[in-house]
Structure 1
Amino acid sequence: MSCIPRHTKLPPEEHRADSCKQMASMNCSAVYRMAPAFKASPWGDFFLNHTTDSLLISHEKMTERVNKLKVVVSGLFGACKNVMEKLNLVDTLQHLGIDHHFEERIAAALNSVHNSEFSSSSLHEVALRFRVLRQHGFLVSADVFNKFRNKDGNFVNDIANDPKDLLSLYNAANLITHNEEPLEEALLFARHHLELMKCNLKSPLAEQVGRALKIPFPKNIKREEAISYIQEYNVHDEMYNAAILELAKVEFNCLQCVHQKELKAIYMWWNDLSTDIKLDYARDHVVVCYFWSYSCMYEEEYARSRVVLAKLLMLASLLDDTYEHATLEECRVLAKVIKRWDEKDVSLLPEYMKKYFISVIRNFKEFGKELEPHEMYRSAYIRKAFQNISECYLQEAEWSHRDYIPSLEDHVNVSTTTAGVELVAVGVLFGMGDVATNELFEWATAIRDSHAVKACGKVTRFMDDLADFKRENLNKMDVATTVDCYIKENNVSSEVAQAKIMSLVDDAWKTLNQELFERRVPLQIIRRITNFARSMMLHYHDKRDGYACSEEIKELLKNHFVKDIAI
């Protein structure tokens, strides 16, 4: 998987054979299944025992309060007198992460905004309308920013001194699609001037600019923004409403209780699984896998998809670890057995893999029990996605054992699947209601033809590889990344290659933005899959590797799953 470090290079076959001869009295396979020095999970059994102050208040009471506040906030839509009041209300609900409660009201409001005449000389207002409408699938032309340019095409000097205008322009321009050069220029202009002034800004604008320069609002996950914005939203905000703020706080704590209970259940599942399969090289990435799943769909009604997806990702993590520690021949046998998906084939596997394979089969049967009778066909799709990732792990293992650096194109064709995005796509759909049709599952598993899925895989792969390449400076045993492929293919420096790969991340984001308007599939599905790419922007920010070194993101995860919000 993307997020999982690449297969460590093993010694050439002939060298391993020599080692076996020299260690004839030992189990030969152990010689070349030695684990690299991965850091242990920083969580241990934390979530098996942890409770927050929020749990002292019953979930039922918090839900009751949330429902009452939703009625109050819903009434605010009818009180909006003009376009800007509607936009500001929707934007506030987005920043606080509670917009999902008002999807129908928001859709009606934005349809009205889109169809209304709009003329404003305020860059902030123009940019806000542009961004909010694009985020909800309305194609707004970048020409709306022409009024803020001189005759020579450059932005007027006045806006270079207004941080609020610049921040709005910057976040709006990050919804750029392909062949939108004016937005490219807007991005560079806004970022340049925000960088110049960021040290001289007052709170909360200083924090908002700092967050955007790290990860622009449209590329960040909602809950991460909400954690900060809840603290910044106060009586001095022009759209302040006490009911909105209370709803954001109570709902955050209410959902955090749900997520803690799910994490506890998944840890119990993991303890049983790891005790059963007894793989000493297996890494505990339960919290990280759950975080990716939660990033895609944190709302309470998606519990079924969220839990199944988290387990799917953890099983794939174990699969990746197993390919990493097996001999090449064992890898080939494992891939064959997973492709056939027959418990009788367990006898073909080496002893240490047998219980893992049986556990995979058993867990997939358990996933099937989560489905309604008319949904049973979905089991075949998550199995297919798991088989596909297995085949691609094998290809990476073949490259690794041969010390082979493929072309960038060949690498991407394989590694966008090992990025785990196909598993994510079917996992998201697996527990959804009737919106998840058979046609959508076909779309999700045809990664080369599914623009959103492939683009999400590219964001994930490239962000991971940039972090991997940075780590390679310390560990030359890592297998080739896309950065290595580009260096070899184009005979360029590592700096040039990293810049190119980062530009490919930007290009993939343009595709994801474009998919908001293409409407090949329902907008909510595009959003869920794009959320996985958003989580990778956070996970691998500044080329850190929060997977291999999960201690680096422990504080981030605490904010989501441990620390409740004072009300």
Structure 2
Amino acid sequence: MGHGQKIDAWTSKVGELKEKVKRMLTTSKGSVEEMIMIDEIQRLGVAYHFEKEINDALEHIYDANAFSKFKDSGSNFKEGLSSDAEGLLSLYEAAFYGTHGEDTLDEAISFTRGQLTSLMTHLDGPLAAQVGLALELPMRMRIPRLEARFYISLFQQQKGPNDVLLELAKLDFNLVQVNASNGAKGADKVVEGHMPCSKVPFCKRSIGRRLLLDIGWDLSAMDQLPEYMRPCFLAVLNTVDEIEEELMPGVKFCRIDYLKHEMKAVVQAYFKEAQWLKTNYVPTLEEYLKISLVTSGYFYLTAASYVGMGEEATKEAFDWLKTHPKFIMDSCLIGRLVDDIQSNEHEQKRAHVASAIECYMEEHGVSRPEACQKIREMVTSAWKDINKFCLKPIPFPLSLLLRVVNLTRVIEVIYLHGDGYSNSFGKTKEMISAILVNPIPM
């Protein structure tokens, strides 16, 4: 069977399996089994096929006081929870969806983390793996596709797994991987074609990160640049031009115009950081964040991700982006601060602008550990703000918000064990291979 035929067969089989799962959800409606199945569907990465069924089910069971039920009359978490690893894990994961003022959820995180850490020495098999991963980083902050790959391997180790769900999850993962890897190959060809690595050795790892002048969007302006920067400038122009050619005529102007606007903003902010570096200036944290949230690249990445979306990315959505709403600001804040926490000591060994850590230490006269703790608290606060915004009714599809949430998750995962962006040959390479290169054996 040829590659194309195999893809067609997989696609057809996925359609069949989706209908079987929908019938299972209908049969189990209103039962505990339905909730278990929904949890499995979400963890296996196929929830997007069943959004209506899941939303209908969850509307009937939501209870704002649900977490209070885990406490006894003395407002302490019930003693019976201490030995229930699965229950503790569920409570722990759910608590990270909390917002500001939900003290019970903050207490739940502290309680469950302590209990799960103590239980780890007594756990084995799939449950031990799940708990260990959750204690490193909760599911709310992890990359869904990567989590799906991990959970599929655990799911098939369970006693009596749902074979229909398992087959659907594997086929769906491999199909998505084929589509995503084709897109990645296309992007790589664009980079190689426009910006040869022999001329700019760092280009594939940080395309255009250090363009320091805002010289407009005109090929003739390239003459104003030094020789070593010209390949970067040409790559940016050509890549955006090629994106523009792929867009429908009706959406070209507002999308590409905004993308160019954000790229220029990044370049201008890099120039400001270069001035700070040259004068050995350490700004206040507020002053630093005003610039570094832009140089984090997350405004630009959000815009770039919206550019390639369908009709849901309306002109109104781009107008909203232009206001730099707090939701996007929180994502940028997490991206910048998580990066700074993990990479600041290494970066400060060479010529580098001060990070959030150094800015806070200088401004408040505290030690590095104290500054890191404060910065981590800011990250936690920003996640709560993101959670709150996701609960609000908005005039845009949820898919637009998920783009932002997933970009935020990427930074948490890449920097989990150090600077996985600058040093991308270890865990980062393994994660990319798991998502884009290595299919799941059927």
TM tier, smaller: over 0.9
- Picking from 32, 48, 52, the partner of 1:100 is 48
Q: Deviations along 1:312-359, whole A, 9 cap, x unmatched? A: xxxxx3321x34xxxxxxx3xx22x0xx32333233222333343233
Deviation of 1:445 after TM superposition, in Å, equals 2.9
The aligned counterpart of 1:39 is none
Q: Deviations along 1:507-559, whole A, 9 cap, x unmatched? A: 110011111112334322111210011111110003x1111111122222222
Deviation of 1:259 after TM superposition, in Å, equals 2.5
Deviation of 1:221 after TM superposition, in Å, equals 1.3
Q: 1:56 to 1:555 in 2, by over 3 A?
A: farther
Q: Secondary structure at the match of 2:283?
A: coil
Equivalences for residues 370-381 of structure 1 within 5 A: 370-376=246-252, 377-381=254-258
The aligned counterpart of 2:398 is 523
- Picking from 161, 170, 176, the partner of 1:255 is 176
Equivalences for residues 169-318 of structure 1 within 5 A: 169-234=91-156, 236=158, 240-275=161-196, 279-285=199-205, 317-318=206-207
Q: Secondary structure at the match of 1:283?
A: coil
Q: Secondary structure at the match of 2:99?
A: coil
- Picking from 350, 364, 387, the partner of 1:490 is 364
Deviation of 1:99 after TM superposition, in Å, equals 0.8
Q: 1:146 to 1:104 in 2, by over 3 A?
A: closer
Deviation of 1:191 after TM superposition, in Å, equals 0.4
State the distance in 2 between where 1:536 and 1:210 align: 20
Equivalences for residues 352-501 of structure 1 within 5 A: 352-376=228-252, 377-447=254-324, 450-472=325-347, 475-501=349-375
Residue identity matched to 2:58: L
Identity %: 31
Q: Deviations along 1:479-504, whole A, 9 cap, x unmatched? A: 21101111111111111111111111
Q: 1:523 to 1:264 in 2, by over 3 A?
A: closer
Deviation of 1:253 after TM superposition, in Å, equals 1.6
State the distance in 2 between where 1:489 and 1:267 align: 42
Q: Secondary structure at the match of 1:282?
A: coil
Residue identity matched to 1:481: S
Deviation of 1:466 after TM superposition, in Å, equals 0.9
Residue identity matched to 2:176: L
- Picking from 192, 208, 219, the partner of 1:319 is 208
Residue identity matched to 2:222: V
Q: 1:237 to 1:373 in 2, by over 3 A?
A: farther
State the distance in 2 between where 1:556 and 1:508 align: 25
State the distance in 2 between where 1:394 and 1:65 align: 53
Q: Secondary structure at the match of 1:434?
A: coil
State the distance in 2 between where 1:477 and 1:349 align: 23
State the distance in 2 between where 1:101 and 1:424 align: 26
Q: 1:528 to 1:86 in 2, by over 3 A?
A: farther
Q: Deviations along 1:444-481, whole A, 9 cap, x unmatched? A: 2322xx122111111111110011124247x2433211
- Picking from 166, 177, 184, the partner of 2:88 is 166
- Picking from 368, 376, 381, the partner of 1:507 is 381
Contact 1:422 1:445 in 2 (8 A): no
**Structure 2 unaligned regions, length at least 5:** none
Q: 1:224 to 1:247 in 2, by over 3 A?
A: same
Q: 1:528 to 1:233 in 2, by over 3 A?
A: same
TM-score, normalised to structure 2, is: 0.93
Contact 1:171 1:212 in 2 (8 A): yes
Residue identity matched to 1:515: F
Contact 2:149 2:434 in 1 (8 A): yes
- Poorly superposed stretches of 4+, deviation over 4 Å: 53-57, 235-238
Q: 1:444 to 1:352 in 2, by over 3 A?
A: same
Residue identity matched to 2:276: W
Contact 1:406 1:485 in 2 (8 A): yes
Q: 1:237 to 1:410 in 2, by over 3 A?
A: farther
Q: Deviations along 1:20-70, whole A, 9 cap, x unmatched? A: xxxxxxxxxxxxxxxxxxxxxxxxxxxxxxxxx995962222212212211
State the distance in 2 between where 1:144 and 1:159 align: 15
State the distance in 1 between where 2:343 and 2:158 align: 44
State the distance in 2 between where 1:155 and 1:113 align: 22
Q: Deviations along 1:386-409, whole A, 9 cap, x unmatched? A: 111111111111111111111111
State the distance in 2 between where 1:349 and 1:342 align: 12
Contact 2:258 2:318 in 1 (8 A): yes
Q: Secondary structure at the match of 1:551?
A: coil
Contact 1:426 1:445 in 2 (8 A): no
The aligned counterpart of 2:434 is 559
Query: Which stretch shows the higher mean deviation, 509-518 or 259-268?
Result: 259-268
TM-score, normalised to structure 1, is: 0.73
Contact 2:194 2:238 in 1 (8 A): no
1:547 is aligned to 2:390: no
State the distance in 2 between where 1:374 and 1:173 align: 43
State the distance in 1 between where 2:29 and 2:176 align: 32
Equivalences for residues 113-192 of structure 1 within 5 A: 113-114=61-62, 141=64, 143-192=65-114
Q: Deviations along 1:136-163, whole A, 9 cap, x unmatched? A: xxxx53x322233234322122211211
Q: Secondary structure at the match of 1:204?
A: helix
Contact 2:284 2:359 in 1 (8 A): yes
Residue identity matched to 1:156: K
Name the structure, 1 or 2, with higher relative contact order (CA <8 Å, separation 6+): 1
State the distance in 2 between where 1:278 and 1:476 align: 24
State the distance in 2 between where 1:391 and 1:279 align: 24
Q: 1:476 to 1:342 in 2, by over 3 A?
A: closer
State the distance in 2 between where 1:274 and 1:359 align: 6
1:351 is aligned to 2:227: yes
Residue identity matched to 2:280: D
Contact 1:455 1:508 in 2 (8 A): yes
Q: 1:468 to 1:456 in 2, by over 3 A?
A: same
Deviation of 1:440 after TM superposition, in Å, equals 0.8
1:71 is aligned to 2:23: no
Residue identity matched to 2:412: M
